[in-house]
Structure 1
Amino acid sequence: MLDDDNGDVVGTAVREVEEEVGIYLNKDDLVNLTAFLNPSTGCKVFPSPGGSDEEISLLMYRGKVKKEVIEAMQGKEMGLREHGELIKVHIVPFDKVWRMTADSKVLCAIALYEMAKRDGLLHPPRSSPDLSQM
């Protein structure tokens, strides 16, 4: 939710990943996949148009995280308990995730990523330090 962040989608995403997964991300290494959509869409995705006014942005992280850090997250319980969050982390290879989830946000993010890649819209990742253990 952006209520406390003045509409800062990327800053909110960085904070949420830190809270829910325990990885610290460099804000500059996030790509807003929904920004590739035609401006007439508002560059947002609407999970349930007509049923809700909810809108979301979908982001991709292109920074570095050490393999050991990723592997150590498998099965870890995360989230802010005081907010009623209990998140169990499941690490899934990218090429298998589309068959292992029914989460429409994940499936939509994969589709946006694949189409942006196909159309040459994704620039090579910039060289960035590994922030995963900061």
Structure 2
Amino acid sequence: MTPARWLLSASVRHTRPALSSALPSIVTMAFSTFTIPRYLDHNGSATLPVSCPAELSREDLLRFPAFRIWLTTLQHSLSRQQHPSHEFSKDPYILRKIDIQSVDRFGGGRLGFLKFKAEVSNENGETLPGSVFLRGGSVGMLLILQPDDVPPSAEDEKRAILTIQPRVPAGSLAFSEIPAGMLDDSGSFAGGAAKEIQEETGLTIPQEELIDMTSLALSSVPEEGETLQKAVYPSAGGSDEFIPLFLCQKRMPRKEIDSLQGRLTGLRQHGEKITLKVVPLRDLWKEGLRDGKTLAAWALYRGLKEEGLL
């Protein structure tokens, strides 16, 4: 064999295993199908077809609070098309089926997140975008601290607490935002807010000291007929997540407020790596501008103050 042929042959023999090992593996997933009641809030025989990974049972799905809230809310909105004044009354849309693509569970097997596609169309074949990341409600807290050596009216002395923590979905290891978290097991918004404040800041705040700014603001807005949550929807184009925003204002010794700066908090054994940052309230909109709930909380606080509701 000539040197050139030997080199070519050796090169081919060397690269074949590498090419073979780079081939993608084929993973199969078992799926199941079943039907659920089309309407969860009243009796009826109408059903809705569902396909999902076999690990998710019909019972688990129907017990999942986030799914029940989403389906009931959507069906109520679709039912409003029957009114002659509705934009879609002449050719109403219908939820025809749900294809669940993936399931994430928390510790203990508790259902956490669902990714699915809801097929919503009318008789003309027109469809509405229906890809959904289902995760349910969360709570956000605007925690304002003021030194107790100044008058309560001294707005310039007010400080807001931000948490700095990794947010892998945003590609960040130091994302600035107001304290936030998922609901507690009871589903109580105020209870969840108080719990998150304690976990993320170390401060104990009684539930009765929390003001639900979203409910307070919506109390002066006429109802539009849909049954959405009294909350902010940060990504309504792709997720059901809704976030009621609470306010807590607390007067403390100046030294205690200063001691919060840079404090390490969070349930670190559960992966929460939180560092506290105390900023002037007037700068909150700049310090937390990448976080939608922070900007929403700042805007609600300003608006409610201007209308004399706080």
Q: Shorter-normalised TM-score: what interval?
A: 0.7 to 0.9
Alignment of 1:4-23 (within 5 A): 4=185, 6-23=186-203
Which structure carries more strand by proportion?
2
The 8 Å contact of residues 80 and 86 in structure 1, kept in 2 or not, is answered as yes
Q: Which residue of 2 aligns with 1:30?
A: 210
Runs of 5+ unmatched residues, structure 2 = 1-181
Which of the numbers 75, 85, 92 marks the counterpart of 2:272?
A: 85
Alignment partner of 1:55 is 2:242: yes
Q: Which residue of 2 aligns with 1:2?
A: 183
Cα drift, residue 53 of structure 1: 0.3
The 8 Å contact of residues 14 and 25 in structure 1, kept in 2 or not, is answered as yes
Q: How far apart, CA to CA, are the structure 1 residues paired with 2:250 and 2:293?
A: 21
SS at match of 1:63: strand
Structure having the higher Rg: 2
- 1:23 maps to a residue whose letter is L
Task: Please report the TM-score for the alignment, with normalisation by the length of structure 2.
Answer: 0.37
- Paired residues in the alignment total 121
Task: Please report the TM-score for the alignment, with normalisation by the length of structure 1.
Answer: 0.83
Q: How far apart, CA to CA, are the structure 2 residues paired with 1:3 and 1:88?
A: 22
Q: How far apart, CA to CA, are the structure 1 residues paired with 2:204 and 2:184?
A: 21
Q: How far apart, CA to CA, are the structure 1 residues paired with 2:294 and 2:265?
A: 19
Q: How far apart, CA to CA, are the structure 2 residues paired with 1:103 and 1:34?
A: 17
What's the C-alpha RMSD, in Å, of the aligned pairs? 1.5
Alignment partner of 1:96 is 2:283: yes
Which structure carries more helix by proportion?
1
Cα drift, residue 3 of structure 1: 5.0
Q: How far apart, CA to CA, are the structure 2 residues paired with 1:52 and 1:117?
A: 30
Q: How far apart, CA to CA, are the structure 2 residues paired with 1:3 and 1:20?
A: 14
Q: How far apart, CA to CA, are the structure 1 residues paired with 2:209 and 2:183?
A: 20
The 8 Å contact of residues 31 and 62 in structure 1, kept in 2 or not, is answered as no
Q: How far apart, CA to CA, are the structure 1 residues paired with 2:187 and 2:291?
A: 24
- 1:12 maps to a residue whose letter is G
Q: How far apart, CA to CA, are the structure 2 residues paired with 1:65 and 1:71?
A: 10
- Runs of 4+ in structure 1 off by over 6 angstroms are none
- 1:16 maps to a residue whose letter is E
Q: Which residue of 1 aligns with 2:308?
A: 120
Q: How far apart, CA to CA, are the structure 2 residues paired with 1:42 and 1:16?
A: 20
The 8 Å contact of residues 210 and 248 in structure 2, kept in 1 or not, is answered as yes
Counterparts in 2 of 1:3 and 1:30: CA distance versus 1, 3 Å: closer
Q: Which protein has greater RCO, CA pairs closer than 8 Å, 6+ apart?
A: 1
Identical aligned residues as a percent? 40
- 2:271 maps to a residue whose letter is G
Alignment partner of 1:66 is 2:247: no
The 8 Å contact of residues 285 and 298 in structure 2, kept in 1 or not, is answered as yes
